[in-house]
Amino acid sequence: MPKLSERREDIPLLADHFLEQHAQANNKKKKHLSPESLDYLMAAEWPGNIR
């Protein structure tokens, strides 16, 4: 599997997935990332794979 840094288009999908999981696990309303937060995640190095 390629590193996340090679699949940056997956970052918004993964972030949304984890926000949804957190909201459901805590009986909370799902929050959304600000454009600045998403830009930060997209610019990160992500040197390895997520497991």
What's the domain range around 39? 4-43
Q: Is residue 50 part of a domain?
A: no
Q: What is the pLDDT of residues 3-48, one digit of tens each?
A: 888 899 999 999 999 999 999 999 999 999 999 999 999 999 988 7
Instruction: Choose between 33 and 49: higher pLDDT.
Output: 33
Q: Is residue 31 part of a domain?
A: yes
Q: What is the 3-state secondary structure (H, E, C) of 1-51?
A: CCCHHHCHHHHHHHHHHHHHHHHHHCCCCCCCCCHHHHHHHHHCCCCCCCC
Nearest to 44 by CA among 17, 4, 9: 4
Identity of the residue numbered 33: L
Domain count, the chain: 1
Please give the Cα distance from 51 to 48 (Å, whole number): 9
